[in-house]
Amino acid sequence: MKKLKKAVFAAGCFWGVQYLFDSLEGIIKTTVGYTGGHRENPTYEEVCASTTGHAEAIEIVYDPEKISYEQLVKFFFDIHDFTQIGGQGPDLGIQYRSEIFYFDEQQRKIAERIKKQLQDKGFDVVTKITQSSIFWPAEDYHQKYYHKKGEKPYCHYRRNVMDLNDLNFKISLE
């Protein structure tokens, strides 16, 4: 039995984030939901009202033999505007913030190292790096939203900020 691992990221509207992470080889499962807030089992409407403190996020189950946590973090930074405060593109509110939720000290150190690399390149990185808390799966209609609709994200795309060409993993964005 393979040892699978988890990662949780918030990078704006979770529909686009899920769509792009699903394109990576080594991703076993993705679930969109809410984390980082104070209300138990929040609804989409509560999170959108900015009263729960939660972020729209994605929980990723991955095979570390096919893709590393470092690769996931670099991809995370590559698919959203980590310099924007209070949202992503036209989606505004604390629920659309940029945040990495780590599970252990190794994940924290990797996330901080990559954030510092971006800062050293001159980027004003606003991404928070926070100990993970309870992840509440979103309602079913949010899961694999763009796949169900046969559409592509309008807010999320590869920005090519990170040098992903030197990483040995496959991206299939059609």
Q: What residues act catalytically?
A: 13
Count of C-beta atoms within a 10 Å radius of residue 46:
16
Three-class DSSP category at 32: strand
CA distance 83 to 149: 29
Helix pair angle (14-21, 69-78), 10° resolution:
130
Residue linked to tokens 């949202």? 87
**Tokens in use for 92?**
């505004």
